[in-house]
Amino acid sequence: MRKRFHVYFSGSVQGVGFRFTTVRLARRFPVTGFVRNLASGKVELVAEGEEKTLQEFLKAVREAFRDCVRDVETEWGSATAGFEGFGIKF
């Protein structure tokens, strides 16, 4: 079943290539969505795909930035098919 997650990463997550690395990681998975920096200093990640695929994608992002991320807030919901591809939102 297709799902959507909405994740907020906090810690030293801006200015470390988080968005570009996340896009590169997303290419390995059949997911759609976006990643962007927030004025609060957090990084927001929204993705849609099969639940297992999303879990693997999130794990890959967390592992890539394990030394930078202090906290992760994750909300799960139903997919809306509102994205084409995966990219950086400015």
Catalytic residues: 19, 37
Looking at CATH, the fold of the domain delimited by 2-76 is given as: Alpha-Beta Plaits (3.30.70)
The pLDDT of residue 86: 98
What is the pTM (predicted TM-score) of this model?
0.95
What is the block-wise mean pLDDT of the chain (90 residues), using blocks of 10 residues? 97 97 98 98 98 98 97 97 96
The pLDDT of residue 38: 98
φ and ψ at 75, to 5 degrees? -120, 130
CB-based burial of residue 2 (10 Å sphere; 0-12 exposed, 13-18 middle, 19+ buried)? middle
The pLDDT of residue 25: 99
The pLDDT of residue 32: 98
Domain boundaries, the chain: 2-76
